[in-house]
Amino acid sequence: MTTTDAPEAAPPPTGKRRIGDVAFAGLARGSGLLILLILAGVAAFLVIQAWPSLTANTANFLASTEWDPNVREEPAFGVAALAFGTVLAAAIALLLATPVAIGIALFIVFYAPRRIASVLGYLVDLLAAIPSVVYGLWGIGFLAPELVPVYQAMVRYLGWIPLFSGPASTSARTMLTAGVVLAVMILPIITAMSRDVFQQTPQGHREAALAMGATRWEMIRLAVLPFGKSGVIGGAMLGLGRALGETMAVAMILSPALIVSWDLLQSGNQTIAAHIALQYPEATGYGVSALIAAGLVLFAITLIVNMAARYVVSRGSKES
C-alpha cells in the first residue's frame, strides 16, 4: 500500500545510478502494462478472427443449435445448445461441490485436530494439482463404468423425476458423470476460499456464542456462517467460472450431441469448451473462425462470472 519512495535525504545520486532507477522502474511498469496489452490482445484477436464467420453465418448465432460451419459457402451455426450444455454441466458441478466444500472447510477449521489440520488441508489442495486430462482419463476409464449400475438404479427408482428419466446410458458417458468430475475439480477452489473466511471469524464472536451455551454447531450457525457467507458465495462463483471453462474432463467423458436436453442420465448435450477441442482438428472452411466465435462467448460468460465473484468477495471483506 504505502510504498516508500527513494528518500530525498539520500546522497545525491550519480547520473549512472539514476539511469538504473529509471530503467528498472520502467521495466516494472512496462511489465504491468504488457499484461493489460496481452488481455486486450486476447479479446481483440478473438473478435478479429471470429468476425468473418459471424458475418457469413446464415443462422442466428445465439439462438441456433446447429453447427455446420465447415464449408466455403453459407455456413450455418449457433451456440444455443452449447451454451445450455456449458451452464448445465457447471450448475451440476456447483450444486454437488458447494455443500461438500463448506463441510470440508468447517472440518479443517473447527473439527480436525489442530496438529494435523494443515496436512489435511494440503491433501484437499492436492485435488487441484491433478491435471484435467488425468481426471478425464479417470472419468472415462474408471468412474463411468462404475456408475453404469448406479444410473440404472436411479432410473428404476427415481425415474419419475424428469431429470433422471431413462433409459440410462449404457456407457454412463453423460452430463451427470461430467458434472461429478467437474465437481471434484472445483472442490479445492471453493474449499480454499471458505477455509480462509472461516478462519477469519473473529475470536470474540465465536467465544460470545460459546459463552451463552451454544454447542459447536450452534456457534458455527450463529457466528461463523453469517460472517463467512460472502466469502463462500465468492468461492462458489470462482468455482463456477472454472467449471464453465473446463475442457478436457467434458471432452473425454461426454458422448456429445448438439441438443438441448435435461436428461442427465442419457448421452447428449455438449459444452462450448469441449466442442472447440473436439471440432478444431477437423475444422475447415469457416470452421476455425466459428469455433473462435464460440470461444468468445465462453470468454464473455466466464468474465462476467469471475468479475461478479471478485465483487462479492471484496464487498464481503469490506463489510467486516
Partner 1 sequence: MNTTTTQPSGAGTGSPANEMRRGSLPNHFPAMLLASCAAVVAGILLAFSSFGFLLWGLLTAVAYVVIIATASARVEGGRKAKDRLVTAVVYGCFLVAMLPLVSVLWTVLRNGIVRFDGYFLSVSMSGVLPSMDAGGVYHAIVGTLAITGMATLISVPIGVMTAIYLVEYAEGRLKRIIIFFVDVMTGIPSIVAGLFVVALWMILFGPGETNGAAGAIALSVLMIPVVVRSSEEMLRLVPQDLREASYALGVPKWRTITRVVLPTSAGGLTTGIMLAIARVIGETAPLILTTGSSATAINWNLFDGQMMNLPVFIYSQVRMGGAVNYERAWAAALTLILVVMLLFFLARIIGRMFAPKTR
Partner 2 sequence: MAKRIDVSGLNVYYGDFKAVEDVSMTIEPRSVTAFIGSSGCGKSTFLRTLNRMHEVTQGARVEGKVLLDDLDIYGADVDPVMVRTEVGMVFQKANPFPTMSIYDNVIAGARLNSKRMSKSEADDLVEQSLRGANLWEEVKDRLGKPGAGLSGGQQQRLCIARATAVKPSVLLMDEPCSALDPISTLAIEDLIHQLKENYTIVIVTHNMQQAARVSDRTAFFNLSAPGKPGKLIEMGETNQMFTRPEQKETENYITGRFG
Shorter beta-carbon distance to partner 2: residue 205 or 310 = 205
Minimum Å gap between C-beta 141 and partner 1 is 7
**Is residue 107 packed enough to be buried (19+ CB in 10 Å), middle (13-18) or exposed (0-12)?**
middle
Distance CA 162, CA 180 (A): 19
Residue 204 interface partner, choices partner 1, partner 2, none, CB cut-off 5-8 Å depending on type: partner 2
Minimum Å gap between C-beta 194 and partner 2 is 17
Nearest to residue 232, comparing CAs of 202, 193, 201, 200?
193
Shorter beta-carbon distance to partner 2: residue 230 or 266 = 230
Distance CA 74, CA 58 (A): 6
Distance CA 34, CA 256 (A): 39
Residue 144 interface partner, choices partner 2, partner 1, none, CB cut-off 5-8 Å depending on type: none
Minimum Å gap between C-beta 213 and partner 2 is 3
Minimum Å gap between C-beta 241 and partner 1 is 5
Minimum Å gap between C-beta 125 and partner 2 is 23
List of residues contacting partner 2 (CB under 8 A): 114, 202, 204-215, 218, 222-223, 226-227, 320
Residue 63 interface partner, choices partner 2, partner 1, none, CB cut-off 5-8 Å depending on type: none
Distance CA 130, CA 262 (A): 30
Q: Quickly tell me which residue has 491433478 as its cell.
A: 130
Residue 224 interface partner, choices partner 2, partner 1, none, CB cut-off 5-8 Å depending on type: none
Shorter beta-carbon distance to partner 1: residue 219 or 265 = 219
Distance CA 155, CA 201 (A): 43
Residue 273 interface partner, choices partner 2, partner 1, none, CB cut-off 5-8 Å depending on type: partner 1
The CB density around residue 196, as the number of other CB atoms within 10 Å, is 16
Minimum Å gap between C-beta 42 and partner 1 is 4
Shorter beta-carbon distance to partner 1: residue 236 or 276 = 276
In the chain, alpha helices (H): 15-56, 80-106, 114-129, 132-138, 144-158, 175-199, 203-211, 216-219, 225-245, 248-253, 272-279, 287-319
What is the sign, positive or negative, of the torsion defined by CA atoms of 140, 143, 149, 151?
negative
Residue 92 interface partner, choices partner 1, partner 2, none, CB cut-off 5-8 Å depending on type: none
Shorter beta-carbon distance to partner 2: residue 229 or 310 = 229
Residue 245 interface partner, choices partner 1, partner 2, none, CB cut-off 5-8 Å depending on type: partner 1
Distance CA 266, CA 155 (A): 10
Distance CA 190, CA 176 (A): 20
Q: Quickly tell me which residue has 458434472 as its cell.
A: 179
Minimum Å gap between C-beta 205 and partner 2 is 6
Shorter beta-carbon distance to partner 2: residue 117 or 278 = 117
Shorter beta-carbon distance to partner 2: residue 208 or 278 = 208
